[in-house]
Amino acid sequence: MENFAAALRASVTTLAELRAYLQERGIDPDRPELYLDVQPHVLPVRIPRYYLDLIDWQDPDDPLRRQVLPTPDEHAILPDDLTDPIGDRAHQPVPGIVHRYPDRALLLLTSACVVHCRFCFRREFIGKPALTLRPDQYEEALHYLADHSEIWEVILSGGDPLVFRDVYLRRVFEQLRAIPHIRVIRIHTRTPAILPGRLTTAFAELARTYAPVYLVIHVNHPREVTDTFTRQVGIVVDRGVPVLSQTVLLRGVNDDAATLATLFRKLVEARIKPYYLHQLDRAPGTNHFRVPIREGQQLLRQLRGHVSGLCLPTYVLDIPGGHGKVPLTPEYVHPSGDDFYEVVNYRGERFAYQEPNV
């Protein structure tokens, strides 16, 4: 954990630091395709060293670099971009709580994150210290959760809940567990893919102590699934903590079937179940990452049946305005009259299926 705090502090956040890093690595920082002179739109730059080291600086289209370094495309704002793309604000009864679905609520403890992804949908909120929950707001959020007995699950999101030290997380887990109707704690985090050292034995023991604690890790590219990542995730899985993943479908990062297949297989090999593949939200300055739904569905068709079902996440859209997530699964079943269906298999072959009369 001390190493993690040091690694976090050593993140690159300024142009001068980035130039120094590149010079250390023997890379000319004045290469124009690095776009080092581009001012980020809204969201400042933040990249830990571990992740910088994964980047192939010789490849002008490196998919890891694309996720973390601003490019001029970030300044292309469309009139129908949304500053609150998934309608968090519409469902915020008190600061730090987003309660959109009946049985589960988000608890956003902080706007701090270990990395500032250039496609972030909470970009208006991330990295702003003033938006970390104050102690009185935290108490109010806990009261809200305690007062709503329909809340079965609390999802810690952000920002990234794993920026906190274990002693703080222990207190949060303990206080959530003290509320009898809260049966499940879920953590949404990008940290393990960015600084895998955060997944220590101590953290794994903590998650086990307050089980069921589910970990959902945000991973977008097979090269983020390093040996170190797999080893550190293993520490958590070995202690019975269920681990799932979520991936954002991103142009120029993972928008081809081979990359997605490799990613999902590597995740399953690391004992992580791919949970969601997200359609990109409509945050300003992220349109260069957009893959149209039709194309996303085509990619899923290319995967279904060809790779193990364990590897397949649900492709989802978060409806703008806070109306929830809906699956974008391609259609395999077409009703064709009473009890009759036309079904399509993974090879595209069509079959008539008659439902047995019961």
Per CB under 6 A, residues contacting ligand PLP are 86, 98, 100-101, 104, 106, 155, 325
| Token duo for residue 125 | 């909120």
Least distance from C-beta 55 to ligand PLP, angstroms? 29
Using the 8-state DSSP alphabet, how is residue 304 labeled?
B
Looking at the Cβ atoms of 148 and 325, the one nearer to ligand PLP is 325
Active site residue 227: no
d(CA 91, CA 98): 5
Q: Which of 62, 84, 88, 318 is catalytic?
A: 318
Looking at the Cβ atoms of 84 and 255, the one nearer to ligand PLP is 84
Active site residue 53: no
How many helices (H) and strands (E) are present in the chain, helices listed first? 11, 12
Looking at the Cβ atoms of 296 and 313, the one nearer to ligand PLP is 313
Instruction: Please provide residue 264's backbone torsions phi and psi, each rounded to the nearest 5 degrees.
Output: -65, -35
Q: Which of 46, 66, 100, 190 is catalytic?
A: 100
Active site residue 166: no
Q: Give the residue among 352, 323, 342 at the shortest CA–CA distance from 101.
A: 323
Least distance from C-beta 186 to ligand PLP, angstroms? 8
Looking at the Cβ atoms of 65 and 186, the one nearer to ligand PLP is 186
Active site residue 273: no
Active site residue 311: no
d(CA 249, CA 289): 8
Active site residue 177: no
Least distance from C-beta 114 to ligand PLP, angstroms? 20
d(CA 196, CA 181): 32
Least distance from C-beta 153 to ligand PLP, angstroms? 7
Q: Give the residue among 261, 331, 263 at the shortest CA–CA distance from 293.
A: 331
Residue nearest to ligand PLP (CB): 100
Looking at the Cβ atoms of 55 and 155, the one nearer to ligand PLP is 155
Q: Which of 49, 104, 208, 304 is catalytic?
A: 104
Looking at the Cβ atoms of 104 and 271, the one nearer to ligand PLP is 104
d(CA 75, CA 71): 8
CA distances from 107 to 110, 112, 141, 143, 284 (A): 9, 14, 8, 12, 24
Active site residue 117: yes
Contact 84, 92 (CB under 8 A): no
Q: Which of 35, 81, 101, 166 is catalytic?
A: 101
Least distance from C-beta 216 to ligand PLP, angstroms? 8
Least distance from C-beta 314 to ligand PLP, angstroms? 9
Q: Which of 66, 118, 120, 123 is catalytic?
A: 120
55 CB-near residues (< 8 Å, 6+ apart): 62, 64, 65, 68
Active site residue 339: no
Active site residue 325: yes
Active site residue 266: no
Classify 346 in phi/psi space as left (phi over 0), alpha (psi -120 to 50) or beta.
alpha
Catalytic positions: 100-101, 104, 113, 117, 120, 122, 281, 318, 325
